[in-house]
Amino acid sequence: MSEHHEQTFWTKYIFSTDHKVIAKQFLWLGLFFLAFGGFQALLIRWQLAYPDQPLPWWLLGTLFYEGGVITPDHYNALFTMHGTIMIFWAITPMLIGAFGNFVIPLQIGAPDMAFPKLNMISFWTMFLASVVLLASYLLPEGTAAGGWTSYPPLSAPVGGIAGEGQTLWTLALTLAGTSTLMGAVNYIITVVRMRAPGMTYFRMPLSVWGLWLTSILNAIFVPIIAAGLILLLLDRTIGTQFFVAGGLATVEGGDPLLYQHVFWIFGHPEVYILILPAWGIVSDLLSVFSRKPAFGARVTAICMCTIVVLSSIVWGHHMYTTGMSPLLGKAFMFLTLLISIPSSIFFLNWLGTLWRGNLHFDPPMLFAMAVLWVFGLGGLTGLYNATVTSDIYLHDTMFVVGHFHYTMAASVLFGGLAAIYFWFPKMFGKKMNPLLGKLHFWISFIPLNYVFFNMMVLGYAGQHRRLYDPNEYEFLAPINDLNISITFFAMVLGFSQLIFAYNFINSMINGEKAEANPWKANTLEWTLEGPIPHGNFATTPTVYNGPHEYSNPAVKDRDWIAQSEPMPT
Amino acid sequence: MVNNKMKFWLKKIKSKAQSITWTAWGIWYIDPPKDVSLDGYRIDNVIQYTDIVITIYFSIVILALIFFIFKYRARPGHTAVYDKGDTKKHVLATVAMGLLVFLSIDVVIEAMSFRDLKEAFWNFPKGENVIKVEVMPQQFAWNFRYPGSDGKFNTEDDVVPVQNQMHVPVNTPILIQIAPFDVIHSFFLPNFRVKIDATPGMVNTMWFQATETGNFEIACAELCGNAHYRMKGYLTVESQEDYEKWLADNAPKEDEGDDWDDWDEEVDEGNREIPEEWAWAWKEVQ
């Protein structure tokens, strides 16, 4: 691994086994789909605000739809693909694919991943999955339209949705799951087997903790959804009826509820799969930019482990209205509410890190602190959905949509953006423009809160989700104005990301050359100079300190000390 | 002159700002749909309690955050205090705070919720005066069935009114059983704060009681296909006499072989066959 081969363009940039190149490949894939899924969100918002009007030219209306009008079929496809793409093709590749690959080996002092070839195959499986997913748009009846959850029998052939878009969706998701699984196995083994001498578990940065625990969840739960998807694929292709019952079933024994259980046994851990890397990254970044050790880092790591366990036994709270037994409902509610204990400990530790620190408000820090805000709101509003009685009213309304956008979209996106601003100098060797970064932060943070908070207000007013035209219902008349103003802010949020895109691409090409350790951080990746070669470290580093030794009084003249530097006595 | 022009623009900006603040503070002027049910207040109460406590906790976090941002911002001469926060005291304090949150929020709403489930939502009414209705949603309409004068389903005198029309008497417990014909639907009564899924292959039970007469909307809350957004029913709450009259008007007549004449052509377009029979007789609940 570490010796140098003669490398052609193909083996260096395309079919590379270098974890840093694969990380960049995942980052590009994730950013492409982030833009794609985000654009779909704008189309959804337009439809909700102006249901009868054709799309304006600046949303490229006539390019996609005849006369620029979104039909109910288009609309269902839009939110189905928005959800699918954002979760599995944007966040997963960005946080887990890109930063998992880039950060884990560098921060634990390893030359590469444990299985570099598997790593490469993981990316190309994801690429294949993307091709299959995008191919579904070329079908005459369009792509999948059964919601990102794709509950059968609606998503089965008897469900009444025309075309084979759903089949390709199922296939693409199975492939994406396979890719995630290959990544997960790789990350777990790398962390367990390839830590540098002296890198004990509690000396690992919390980012690595988050990514590692995420991989464990992935390795356990992705096979379950894969099994469910394969059964659905059989239903769709060879005529089995695992998930069909009732008036449309031609054979006995199918059960749609089974799919919901299988889906959410995976689906709830998935929420934590997405958020754990962000938590880890935020914990580390708050420490770096406060120039102070992460408060209670061990407790934070243990709380993450607790949440990993709890997250796997609470899936039933997605199904309170399915008529589940009262005993089960109460048990799931109790277990779900238990999650608030480790979560509130997180918040105290994050605030504790800032307390008596020396805060530098660089773009990564702004985004990391924003996670406290958005995850605070997202986490606390989860209480309404965890409670059986309030969930009877709020389930399947826009309230749920606002809540999970705060937790999954806002928190994870801000965590991911913090990570991009933070590691950009190491990934590309160039500096990003900090002023544009701060502008990007404020112009994202304010509209984002307007949009997601008021989505919850819509839900409280009774607007159910996946609704093509809210004007159909008289009781939704009072919230028409709110729908319009949310759309306005959503457009601001969407188009302001062009600032980020400009800053990202421009810095990569014209940016100032970055020094080796621009943030004065302790972790091992910052000890490497210039473009990091294939194989990373010239000599395997020995680790002497924890990752958060900032402002240690034993160190004179500076407020940091690299993990591979012996502590002066 | 200049003054006038300025006044004009100020006025314009002010009116614009007013309309913006109206929508900016959506939560302060948007209420949930009017509650007309016996037990809806329970759900509103849980939501209100949660509103208050999470506002308090969120404010504490944000105030601390803002305070720290000002107090500990980097400036010449300011340094961080080296504190890992891992002494026994620190750990105990954070864990204690976690438990405090659990006790002050979670335990309370859990107690409220369990009580309401036991007393209301999962406490199905029994007795003679309970009105039983079977609901069978299909893409994209609501079918209702009443047992008729003999009180039994699957008999000659079952009443199947026009689609999407449900009538119930006021101040009487209504017990519904729901199972769909085709895909998953969800029976959502915003004004009654209740919702129950209709999943193929299983029969679900739910009850509610109206306290006011009037017309209310029934929404399908689970995605069921392209016309999901138009799968709307009407619930008419009326006096006992009006209800009985309506039931009699809709009772099956000798000459009528088909109850489906009033099928809405527009909704019907592209639909599958209309189910001929109801699949289940009343399922007794414990």
The CATH number given to whatever domain includes residue A276 is 1.20.210.10
Q: For the whole model, what pTM was predicted? A: 0.91
Least confident of A10-14, A154-158, B264-268: B264-268
Query: Are A215 and A184 contacting, i.e. CB atoms less than 8 angstroms apart?
Result: yes
> How many domains does one find in chain A?
1
| Residue-wise pLDDT tens digits, A388-402 | 999 999 999 999 999
Give one DSSP letter per residue of A431-464, joined into a string: ---HHHHHHHHHHHHHHHHHHHHHHHHHHHTTPB
C-alpha A281/C-alpha A278 separation (Å) is 5
| Sign for the pseudo-dihedral over CA of B78, B82, B84, B89 | negative
Claim to verify: residue B196 and residue B98 sit in the same structural domain: no
User: Number of folded domains in chain B?
Assistant: 2
CA dihedral sign of residues B23, B27, B29, B33: positive
Query: Which pLDDT value is given to residue B26?
Result: 47
Q: How far apart, in whole angstroms, are the C-alpha atoms of residue B218 and residue B78?
A: 62
Structural domain ending residue among the three candidates B65, B93, B121: B121
User: Are B117 and B180 in a shared domain?
Assistant: no
- Residues from chain B contacting residue A291 (CB–CB below 8 Å): 74, 79-80
Domain contains A9:
no
How many residues are present in chain A? 569
Cis peptide before A153 (omega within 30 of 0): yes
B116 & B156 share domain: no
Q: What is the per-residue burial (b if ≥16 Cβ within 10 Å, else e) of B118-151?
A: eebbbeeeeeeeebbbbbbbbbbbbbbbbbbeee
Tell me: the pLDDT tens digits for A402-449? 999 999 999 999 999 999 999 999 999 999 999 999 999 999 999 999
Confidence grade of residue A52 (pLDDT, cut at 50, 70, 90) = confident
How many Å lie between the alpha carbon of A325 and the closest alpha carbon of chain B? 10
Residue B169 and residue B223 share a domain: yes
Q: Are residues B47 and B143 in the same domain?
A: no
Taking the C-alpha atoms of residue A209 and residue A220, their distance in angstroms, rounded to an integer, is 17
Q: Is residue B14 pLDDT above 70, yes or no?
A: no
Q: pLDDT at position A156, please?
A: 92
> Is B275–A247 a contact, with Cβ atoms under 8 angstroms apart?
yes
User: Does residue B163 share a domain with residue B206?
Assistant: yes
Report the share of chain A in percent with pLDDT over 70: 99
Q: Does any domain span residue A453? A: yes
CA distance B16 to B13: 5
* Residue A542 within a domain: no
Residues of chain B in contact with residue A76, where contact means CB-CB under 8 angstroms, are 223, 225-226, 228
Has residue B170 got a pLDDT over 70? yes
Q: Do both B198 and B245 map to the same domain?
A: yes
Of A256, A299, A397, the CB nearest to B200: A256
Q: Which of A299, A321, A553 sits opposite B94 (nearest CB)?
A: A299
The pLDDT, as a whole number, for residue A1 is 44
Q: Is B268 part of the contact surface with chain A (CB cutoff 8 Å)?
A: no
The pLDDT score that the predictor gives to residue B8 is 72
- Residues of B with Cβ-Cβ distance to A254 under 8 angstroms: 201
User: In the numeric block, which tokens belong to residue A457?
Assistant: 């207000």
- The answer to the question of residue A4 being in a domain is no
| Alpha carbon of A102: minimum distance to chain B alpha carbons (Å) | 27
| Whether residue A550 has pLDDT greater than 80 | yes
Q: Answer whether residue A45 is part of any domain.
A: yes
- Report the alpha-carbon distance of residue B235 to residue B166 in Å, rounded: 5
Beta bridge partners of B204: B178
Burial (CB count <10 Å: 0-12, 13-18, 19+), residue A139: middle
Instruction: Give one DSSP letter per residue of A470-509, joined into a string.
Output: GGG-GGGGGGHHHHHHHHHHHHHHHHHHHHHHHHHHHHHH
CA angle B5, B11, B12 (to 5 degrees): 90
Whether residues B84 and B185 fall in one domain: no
Question: How sure is the predictor about A98, in pLDDT bands with cuts at 50, 70 and 90?
Answer: very high
If pLDDT is split at 50, 70 and 90, which confidence band does B286 have? low
Q: B70 and B135, same structural domain?
A: no
Same-domain status, B40 and B112: yes
A vs B, Cβ pairs < 8 A, gives: 319
Q: Which of A274-283, B153-162, B275-284 has the lowest mean pLDDT?
A: B275-284
Q: What residues make up the domain containing B48? A: 31-121
Q: Which residues 204-263 of B are in CB contact (within 8 Å) with A?
A: 204-205, 216-217, 219-230, 232
Q: Sign of the CA dihedral A169, A175, A181, A183?
A: negative
By the 8 A CB rule, do B135 and B185 touch?
A: no
Antiparallel, parallel or unpaired: β B173-178 and B204-209: antiparallel
Q: Which of A513, A516, A521, A363 is nearest to A434 (CA)?
A: A363
> Is residue B284 predicted with pLDDT exceeding 90?
no
Dihedral, A24, A88, A391, A398 alpha carbons, nearest 10:
80
Give the residue-averaged pLDDT of B278-286.
Answer: 70
pLDDT of residue B30: 75
Domain that holds residue A91: 17-527
Using an 8 Å Cβ cutoff, are B198 and B187 in contact?
Answer: yes
Q: Name which of A393, A281, A279, A297 is nearest A343 in CA terms.
A: A279
For residue A396 the two structure tokens come to 């399947």
Average pLDDT score over residue span A56-84: 90
* pLDDT per position as a tens digit, B218-263: 999 999 999 999 999 999 999 999 999 999 998 887 555 454 544 4
Distance CA A336, CA A99 (A): 29
Is A396 a member of any domain?
A: yes
Q: Using CA atoms, how far apart are residues B200 and B224, in angstroms rounded to an integer?
A: 12
Interface probe with B: pick from A464, A465, A487, most Cβ of B within 10 Å: A464
For residue B274, is it within any domain?
no
- Report the pLDDT value the prediction gives residue B272, as an integer from 0 to 100: 41
Instruction: Report if residue A7 sits inside a domain.
Output: no
Residue B232 forms part of a structural domain: yes
With 70 as the cut, is the pLDDT of residue B285 above it? no
Cβ–Cβ < 8 Å for B194, A462: no
Assigned domain for A404 exists:
yes
* More confident call, A481 vs A334: A334
pLDDT value of position A305: 96
Nearest Cβ partner for A389 among B99, B117, B225: B117
From residue B43, alpha-carbon distances to A388, A403, A504, B219 in Å are: 10, 18, 47, 19
Q: For residue B186, give the H/E element and its range.
A: strand B185-189
Q: Would you call A468 and B139 a contact, using CB atoms and an 8 Å cutoff?
A: no
**Does any domain span residue B26?**
no
Give the nearest partner residue to A359 out of B43, B73, B109, using CB atoms.
Answer: B73
Task: Tell me how far apart the alpha carbons of residues B36 and A528 are, in angstroms, rounded to a whole number.
Answer: 67
Mean of all residue pLDDT scores within chain B: 84
CATH number of the CATH domain containing B103: 1.10.287
Same domain, B91 and B142: no
Residues in A closer than 8 angstroms to B223, CB to CB, are 76, 146-147, 151, 154, 466
Q: Which among B85, B98, B194 has the least Cβ separation from residue A392?
A: B194
Task: Give exposure, B43-68, as e/b (b: 16+ Cβ within 10 Å).
Answer: beebbebbeebbeebbeebeebbeeb
Q: Are residues B177 and B208 in the same domain?
A: yes
**Arithmetic mean of pLDDT over chain A:** 93
Which chain B residues are closer than 8 Å to A457 by Cβ?
26-27, 30
- Decide if B80 and A481 are in contact by the 8 Å CB cutoff: no
pLDDT computed for residue A161 by the predictor: 87
pLDDT tens across A239-251, in order? 899 999 888 888 8
Q: CA of B3, closest CA in chain A: separation in Å?
A: 33
> Could you tell me if residue B38 is inside a domain?
yes
pLDDT (tens digit per residue) in B86-119? 899 999 999 999 999 999 999 999 999 999 999 9
A-chain CB neighbours of B28 within 8 Å are none
**Residue entry with tokens 């112009």:** A443
**Is A354's CB within 8 Å of B184's CB?**
no
Interstrand relation of B214-220 and B165-169 (parallel, antiparallel or unpaired): unpaired
The pLDDT score that the predictor gives to residue B268 is 46
Interface mutation vs chain B, best among A365, A393, A456, A481, most B CBs within 10 Å:
A393
Are the beta carbons of A390 and B43 separated by less than 8 Å? yes
At A197 the three-state DSSP class reads coil
B208 domain-assigned: yes
Q: What is the DSSP string of A226-289?
A: HHHHHHHHHHHHT---TT--GGG-SSTT--HHHHHHHHHHHHHHHHHHHHHHHHHHHHHHHHHH
A297, A389, A457 ranked by CB distance to B113: nearest: A389
B265 — pLDDT class (breaks 50, 70, 90): very low
Q: Residue A326 pLDDT more than 90?
A: no
Per-residue confidence (pLDDT) for residue A74, from 0 to 100: 92
Neighbours of B238 (CB within 10 A): 18
Residue type at A134? L
A277, A368 Cβ separation under 8 angstroms = no
List Cα–Cα distances, A445 to A306, A371, B108, B176, in angstroms. 30, 10, 33, 46
Instruction: Enumerate the β-bridge partners of residue B73.
Output: A359
Token readout for B278 is 């109801």
Residue B188 in any domain: the answer is: yes
Say if B286 falls within a structural domain: no
**Strands lying side by side in the sheet with B141-145:** B141-145, B131-138, B173-178, B204-209
